[in-house]
Structure 1
Amino acid sequence: MRTDPATTHPPTAIPTWNVGDVTVHRIEETPLPPDTGPWLLPDATPEVVTGHDWLRPHFADDDGVLHLDSHSFALTSGGLRVLVDTGIGNGKKRANPAWHDLDTDYLLHLTAAGFPPESVDLVILTHLHADHVGWNTREVDGSWLPTFPNARYVTSRTEREFWAGYDMEEAREQMFQDSVIPVEEAGLLDLVDVPAAGAGIAPNLRLLPTPGHTPGHIAVELTSRGRTALITGDCIHHPVQLAHPAIGACVDIDPERSEATRRTLLASLADTDTLLLGTHFAPPTAGRVVLHDGAYRLSPVSADPK
């Protein structure tokens, strides 16, 4: 029986950022292997990456290899304990070797941040890809059960309805069977209409439509006491896309729309105080978007340990 991750290496510090009165915690799952970048963002070649000194050392190495990560963000707002995206998950059978049958300390990290699974009230899913829904469930006595039994799981109606009509390959069907369907069958998944202006989902939290990677993809905006943060999901996978917004992911459903979304979003964030929190950005994970050489760069904002 697989239930919780290994507990042999308890975390000593959880990275956090303060946004007004709200503290955002980065919940580590796993770094992604070096070959993730060439597969995911094939146009981010070593020549392109090494042309931007600001990407090193945090977001790429000297040879132009991208650093990518899998993690979630947890926060408390208006008395609600919120988790944004749930990573890859443990023990999931996946076609991608980097995601297959993981055994990480994710739940230990989440609990150390003060969010034991039973305490979570709201799980926001930016989209329904395998590396964003994995910890929706965990295996108990051979069955996949909701990891957060007291939570309302939320995604956009457009997202769920798109996949309901999609001719899924075997690997994606497997992901839905072990990580989405059990939440639906438990009556915990809510579908939200997200108009162009966004949809308030909880105190201080708004869902923003950011389509292209998937048709119903959403980003999450947090505001508190005049401060703002935005959690990207996969509308931006890596900071190199700030310098080159035309670089898209190989798995974008609509590459042209994905680029248009990214350009609009970056233009709205440039030279503002909004904290950008990248769902796949390697540490330091957060930063502010700055105009640079006709495009943008990320000015990192270091986290404070919990």
Structure 2
Amino acid sequence: MTTRLNRPAGLRTTSVGEHRLTYIPDGSVQLDPRRWYHETDPSIWDGEHAGLLDPEGYLAASIGGLLVEHGDRAMLIDAGFGPRTIPAAHTHPALGVLGGGDLPTGLKQAGVDPARIDTVALTHVHDDHFGWVLRPGPAGTPFPNAAVAAGAADWAAWREPVAVPTKAVHDGDEVFPGVTAMAAPGHTPGHTCYVIESGGERLIAFGDALHSPAQAAHPEWPVLMDVDRVRGIESRRRVLAALAQDGVRGFGIHFADVQFGRIISGPDGPYWEYDD
């Protein structure tokens, strides 16, 4: 059965103090949980976590960007995959279908001119997060006035030409009014979360520090695509501890259609309580 837990997200809006936040969908990717979390007991995906899987047995991971508006300014956290689709047979063995292309349409639906966006802050430089700014297709990037920010260590490892203005981000840097970088290396060398604080409220956009609500109780699970297994686990523990603080909400870009929520301490361990 298809539910919010196993389908890609549509456009969703919330607020953090004076900041308006809108998830802008671009597409989705299917993650094979038995390969992605390659040291888990495969039976948990038939039992305890079966409700997270789509009809083909994959985690339905949304791809897109988090639009942050404050006053007359706007930024985007992550920038989708871009206008292309890759069949399962032609991508990584741990993935199913990977595709994007909807981000410009989503921005139009949200009533936002892409030219208004002055900053695109990447959680990391993987192609399902930077597509519309670093590999946008023949028409070029839809963000003519945006600088692209990412963790300094990720830029140091990048080996392709970049045709847009860039900024190296370090832990604690303010990248936009009320938006601060939080280093969380492991998935990539410079993986970065972004903390949005306004009006006494706080939300952490945690990128690929977590890929699924199932990890709320299992930060120790190694992730196949983490470049540094040990640091990835350390970062997940630190991010989950920050999310567990009173009043802190989270945004998980790959969390199917339950991307906005919070970590709750339950009798069987922490779990992801998603917003209505």
**Aligned-residue offset at 1:163:** 3.3
- Change over 3 Å in CA distance of 1:65–1:185 after alignment to 2: closer
Q: 1:185 aligned to 2:163?
A: yes
SS at match of 1:146: coil
Q: Which residue of 2 aligns with 1:88?
A: 81
Larger radius of gyration: 1
Between the aligned partners of 2:64 and 2:263, the Cα distance in structure 1 is: 21
Partner of residue 37 from structure 2, selected from 16, 36, 41: 41
Cα deviation per residue 1:136-167 (whole Å; 9 max; x = unaligned)?
A: 14333xxx633311111111212111334xxx
**8 Å Cα contact 2:193-2:207 kept in structure 1:** yes
Superposed counterparts of 1:266-285, under 5 Å: 266-285=240-259
- The reply to whether residue 154 of structure 1 matches residue 152 of structure 2 is no
Equivalent position SS for 1:228: strand
CA shift in 2, pair 1:271/1:201, >3 Å = closer
Determine the C-alpha separation between the residues in 1 that align with 2:71 and 2:156. Answer: 30
CA contact (8 A) 2:27 2:100 kept: no
Match of 2:104 in 1: 107
Correspondent of 1:118 among 110, 115, 119: 115
Separation in 2, partners of 1:273, 1:62: 35
**Could you tell me how far apart the structure 1 residues matched to 2:145 and 2:85 are?**
22
**Corresponding residue for 1:139?**
137
Q: Is 1:208 aligned with 2:175?
A: no
CA distance in 2 between counterparts of 1:284 and 1:189 reads 31
Distance in 2 between residues matched to 1:130 and 1:81, nearest whole Å: 22
The answer as to whether partners of 1:56 and 1:62 remain within 8 angstroms in 2 is no
Q: 1:66 aligns with which of 59, 68, 73?
A: 59
**1:27 match:** 24
The residue aligned with 1:9 is none
Tell me, yes or no, if the aligned pair for 2:82 and 2:137 is still in contact at 8 Å: no
SS in 2 for 1:242: helix
The correspondence of residues 161-172 of structure 1 with structure 2, limited to 5 A, is 161-164=156-159
Task: Report the number of matched residues.
Answer: 261
Greater percentage in strand: 2
Contact 1:126 1:155 in 2 (8 A): yes
Q: Distance in 1 between matches of 2:86 and 2:44?
A: 34
Would you say the 8 A contact 2:196–2:204 is kept in 1? yes
**What amino acid does structure 2 have at the position aligned with 1:40?**
W
* Native 8 Å contact 2:149 2:168 kept in 1: yes
Aligned pairs for 1:157-306 within 5 A: 157-164=152-159, 176=160, 181=161, 184-186=162-164, 188-192=165-169, 194-195=170-171, 198-293=172-267, 295-302=269-276
Q: How far has the Cα of 1:68 moved from its partner?
A: 2.0
Residue identity in the other structure for 1:185: A
Letter in 2 for 1:70: I
- Structure 1 unaligned blocks of 5 or more: 1-12, 165-175
Using the alignment, how far apart are the partners of 2:45 and 2:86 within structure 1? 32
Q: From the superposition, tell whether residues 63 and 160 of structure 1 become closer, same or farther in structure 2 (CA, over 3 Å).
A: closer
Q: Amino acid of the residue matched to residue 66 of structure 1?
A: L
Q: Is the 8 Å Cα contact of residues 271 and 290 (structure 1) preserved in structure 2?
A: no
Instruction: Give the unaligned 5+ runs of structure 2.
Output: 1-9
- CA distance in 1 between counterparts of 2:143 and 2:54 reads 37
Percent identical residues: 26
TM-score by length of 1: 0.76
The answer to whether the aligner puts 1:16 opposite 2:9 as a matched pair is no
TM-score w.r.t. the length of structure 2 is 0.84
Name the amino acid aligned to 1:149: P
